[in-house]
Structure 1
Amino acid sequence: MSDTKKRIVVLISGNGSNLQAILDRSLEQNIHGQVVAVISNRPDAYGLTRAEQREVDTQVLDHTEFETREAYDYQLKNLIDSYHPDLVVLAGFMRILSDPLVMHYHGRMLNIHPSLLPKYKGLNTHSRAIEAGDTEHGASVHFVTPELDDGPVVIQSKVPVFKDDTELELAARVQEQERNIYPLVIEWFCRGRLTMENNKAYLDGNEIPENGYAAD
């Protein structure tokens, strides 16, 4: 493994709690990766402040200033590429990416989704889990592929769903687990342990089960 740290670009849209966990992990432990830029599609995203506090370069590319998704994604790709990333991390980036952009970063783009994939792709996952009467819920880290929330899963972390849970209470429980598992997966990637080949995820050369590893 090269001694050079992997270059990470993080895309956000909001508060940036997962970004904070990644930044903290990169300072507290040697994850062999460095966040070189944080890009937001919303100028008021608090995650930009989190990045600035750590002296990480920030950029805003406001999607409302573009007429089409394709035009936005073309500029986004150019902006990301200007930082020469080894890994692109989606951390609450609330946009569906076009196929050409996703394929440009094939095998080097990760996302975290607040459900136990393949359950509840898309939005409102916490309320959907409660309405379905599920007894467990959680989060999944996966490689990004063109189909929404469908890339190979690397790891999942489960939480209980209690009978009187509100959406906010369940979301907070899931987010706590997200902040644990996302930096871990990024560390695996930056150390060369995690790869994607033929639409399957591998850790240390071993194929990861279809629903990912279960977090301890």
Structure 2
Amino acid sequence: MPLPCNLVVLLSGSGSNLQAMIDAFSHRDSPVCIRAVISNRADAFGLERARAAGIETRVLDHAGYDGREAFDQALMALIDGFEPTLVALAGFMRILTPGFVRHYHGRLLNIHPSLLPRHKGLHTHKRALEAGDTEHGCSVHFVTEELDGGPLVVQAAVAVQADDTPETLAGRVHAQEHQIYPLAVRWFAEGRLCLGSHGVSFDGQPLAASGHLIRP
């Protein structure tokens, strides 16, 4: 039986996507072992979720470092101590340095609350409504040096309702995040998903630039 995929999760907030992973991978035969959860904020509720599940936690406060480079160097050393196969960003509110991204090339995933390449950055639900989008959603992608611009793995789309607010739309999008992020991690752990020199492949075949698209 192959060894499980060692996963390290980085977060800054409530950790609802972490909880989805805990729920998905807590069984004995899981292909994923969540080795550690690391936060740059000691008050992140995601740390409590991890502790409740018996997962090791670490806090690395960025305020204690002189600039992004120094913080990211310390963060890499901390992450690598857990021998990760994969690193997942789950609401980690830091812009990562190119050196960090290169260090984890092909084994660094992120989830973003929009149908990339639309609405990169923050306040995506409000921006989707202001743009008059009829469809919104979330995307899992490999991380590259381009902010929210790495190759797509899987997206989930939801219809925008006429009476939606940013909060109601966010609620439906979050529900889909909790489905597709564990799915993408599982694909990686099972060896079905990888990022190579020619882009993303899935089951040995090139994946379309838009990734898998799921419409619940």
- The interval holding the TM-score normalised by the smaller chain is over 0.9
1:167, 1:199 → 2: CA distance? 37
**5+ residue gaps, structure 2:** none
Letter matched to residue 71 of structure 2: Y
Q: Give the corresponding residue for 1:10.
A: 9
Distance 1:114 1:23 in 2: 20
- Alignment match, 2:84: 85
> Match of 1:192, as an amino acid?
G
**AA partner of residue 106 (structure 1):** H
Q: What CA RMSD, in Å, does the superposition of the two structures yield over aligned residues?
A: 1.1
CA distance in 1, matches of 2:194, 2:164: 37
Q: Is the 8 A contact 1:138 1:157 kept in 2?
A: yes
Q: Per-residue deviation at 1:126?
A: 0.6
Alignment partner, residue 73 of structure 1: 72
Question: 1:174 aligns to what?
Answer: 173
When structure 1 is superposed on structure 2, of 101-110 and 206-215 the one drifting more is: 206-215
CA distance in 1, matches of 2:55, 2:5: 15
| Paired residues of 1:12 and 1:94 also in contact (CA < 8 A) | yes
- 2:184 alignment partner AA: V
Task: Report how far residue 95 of structure 1 moved.
Answer: 0.7
Residues 31 and 191, structure 1, Cα contact 8 Å, conserved in 2 = no
Aligned to 1:55: 54
CA distance in 1, matches of 2:28, 2:46: 21
Q: Percent identity?
A: 53
Deviation sequence 1:45-79 (CA, Å, 0-9, x none): 00000000011000000111122011110100000
Q: Which ranges in structure 1 are unaligned for 5 or more consecutive residues?
A: none
Structure 2 CA distance for partners of 1:140 and 1:30, relative to 1, 3 Å: farther
2:35 match: 36
The alpha-carbon deviation at position 92 of structure 1 amounts to 0.6
- Which residue of structure 1 aligns with residue 158 of structure 2? 159
Partner of 1:213: 212
Question: Residue 46 of structure 1 aligns with which residue?
Answer: 45
Q: Which amino acid aligns with 1:182?
A: Y
Q: What secondary structure, in the 3-state scheme, does the structure 2 residue paired with 1:102 have?
A: helix
Compute the displacement of 1:31 (Å): 3.9
